Amino acid sequence: MIKNRRELFSIHWTCASLAGLAFLAGCASTPSATPKSTGWITDEVADSYVFGYPLVLMGVARDAAIGTDPGQAPLNTLRHAQALPPIGAANPPQPGVDTLDSTGWLDVGSEPVLVSLPDSHGRYVDARVLDMWTNVVWSTGPQFATGAKGIKAQTIAFVGPGWQGELPRGVKRVDVPSANAWVSVRIQSNGARDLTAVRKLQRAIRVAPLSAYGADSRSAPVAPPRGNAADSASAAAGTPAAQVAALDANGFFSRLADALPDNPPTPADPHALKILADLGVTPGNPVKLPRARDAIAAGLADGHERVGTPPSNMLTGNGWSWFGEGVGNYGPDYALRAYAASAQPGIGTCDDEVRAVVTQDSDGHPLNGANRYVIHFAPNQLPPVHGFWSITAYTRDGALGDSAPARLAVGDRNGARRNRDGSLDVTVSSARARNGNWLPAPRTDMQLVLRLYAPKPQATDGSWQPPAVVRQ
């Protein structure tokens, strides 16, 4: 069994602080001409970068998404994707091909915002809301653990800090610790012929502030056509993660300082704020970093590396890696939180989705679509889900290959055929295979993504793992 271990990020800070105290004590007995060490600056910049990364990333993503230009939507309004995969050059890495997505940003700072979801009539719907620190404050995932195949009509009020008042009868209250929140509603689609029914459900979703609740508040904006100016500008600027990575230390910490007043740390962490204050970063005030350019640059580089390094409590097996039980509700596990925000933006909890990724075959060689691979699921080792599962092939940078049918995935929603003994084989190759469970792949180095929608507990507690990818 693979164990899911949680490492407390604050230990590193505590050690760094103790080291700083030891240094200060040593200074009392050394000549004043001795140069002061700047190692503490490097450590605290790196720690603070990892701590603040999710909040800065969410702020950049929000600023890029809200507005009235094509490809954007105003606050408290959803933007509906209309095609699979979503059309536009600004798509995130590993775009999904199983669901039509409706996304938007909520402003709960002055009053609650109500989100009404329709009865899906047995169709799988994954809806979730994240605070600005990427913690999931609410999702539909737990509703499927009871055996439900779809969701019932429901209205949820997302309430910001400090609000007191009455909500309409039958509305569920969910408290949000930040002034803004990100909402995503993903509706299962069974192919091009099914899109009309999915779009009808999208149009039935309503989002409105409490003061406007009951009016005609349907979310009208839709995804723009391919090649529009907004998508081109967004593609030029890069994804939110790329924009954050391009910030220098002053730019990053200025964004963090500006965001903190409306989005206090979750959980509350006075020690993290004290470390930031030592660096000259205080909520709502101009940043005054120490005059130690090399130490700050080294700390920023270390922060970048740590955000992009899988933490030890990732689950791994047969070359695949995926998030376990801690994802979505991170507590003080800042390393996991930052890596999750970077690797899979908007990831839900272990009740919502598992997204396992593999880039090597069973012999440790990079996957390449020019080869032929087989993934063999034993009869009792099919992906454990309450919803459904699928496998999709992408290039190494997360794009859908141009040479493969881009909208095709293999999984139980599109009739993957089992063998006589109940097992199931998926053949992966850029060349068409006779096997009915053929997954087209880009003819280049690639990665495979296995998605489990509404996974069962064994998918995230380490008692199940995907099978190896074997080259034929």
pLDDT digits (tens, 9 = 90+) for 418-445: 999 999 999 999 998 887 799 999 999 9
Note the pLDDT of residue 216.
56
| Residue 193 included in any domain | yes
Does 223 lie in the same domain as 261? no
Name the domain count of the chain: 3
| Residue 430 included in any domain | yes
**pLDDT > 80? residue 16:** no
Is-contact 55 263, C-beta < 8 A?
Answer: yes
Per-residue pLDDT of 247-297, as tens digits, reads: 999 999 999 999 999 999 989 999 999 999 999 999 999 999 999 999 999
Q: What is the mean pLDDT of residues 168-189?
A: 96
Per-residue pLDDT of 312-342, as tens digits, reads: 989 999 999 999 999 999 999 999 999 999 9
| Residue 440 included in any domain | yes
| Residue 316 included in any domain | no
Does 199 lie in the same domain as 90? yes
Which range, of 35-39, 65-69, 74-78, 120-124, averages the lowest pLDDT?
A: 35-39
Does 249 lie in the same domain as 210? no
Note the pLDDT of residue 82.
84
Nearest to 465 by CA among 234, 455, 277: 455
Give residue 191's pLDDT band: very low, low, confident or very high (50, 70, 90): confident
Does 205 lie in the same domain as 256? no
Note the pLDDT of residue 234.
43
Does 193 lie in the same domain as 82? yes
Bridge partners of residue 376, in order along the sequence: 425
Does 90 lie in the same domain as 162? yes
Given 196, 227, 258, which residue is the final one in a domain? 227
Note the pLDDT of residue 91.
56
Q: Which residue range forms the structural domain that includes residue 454?
A: 352-471
Q: What is the mean pLDDT of residues 225-251?
A: 69
| Residue 118 included in any domain | yes
Specify the CATH number for the domain of residue 401: 2.60.120.1600
Does 361 lie in the same domain as 399? yes
| Residue 130 included in any domain | yes
Specify the CATH number for the domain of residue 163: 2.60.40.1610
Does 249 lie in the same domain as 376? no
Using only the alpha carbons of the chain, give its radius of gyration.
24
Given 200, 227, 254, which residue is the final one in a domain? 227
Per-residue pLDDT of 340-376, as tens digits, reads: 999 999 999 999 999 999 999 999 999 999 999 999 9
Note the pLDDT of residue 218.
47
- On average, the pLDDT of the chain sits at 86
**pLDDT > 50? residue 465:** yes
HEC string for 433-463: CCCCCEEECCCCEEEEEEEEECECHHHCCCC
Given 307, 335, 362, which residue is the final one in a domain? 307
When comparing pLDDT for 384 and 405, which is higher? 384
Does 37 lie in the same domain as 130? no
383 CB-near residues (< 8 Å, 6+ apart): 377, 389, 450, 452, 455, 459, 464, 466
Does 206 lie in the same domain as 95? yes
Does 186 lie in the same domain as 130? yes
Does 179 lie in the same domain as 75? yes
Which range, of 30-44, 52-66, 412-426, 442-456, averages the lowest pLDDT?
A: 30-44
Note the pLDDT of residue 192.
76
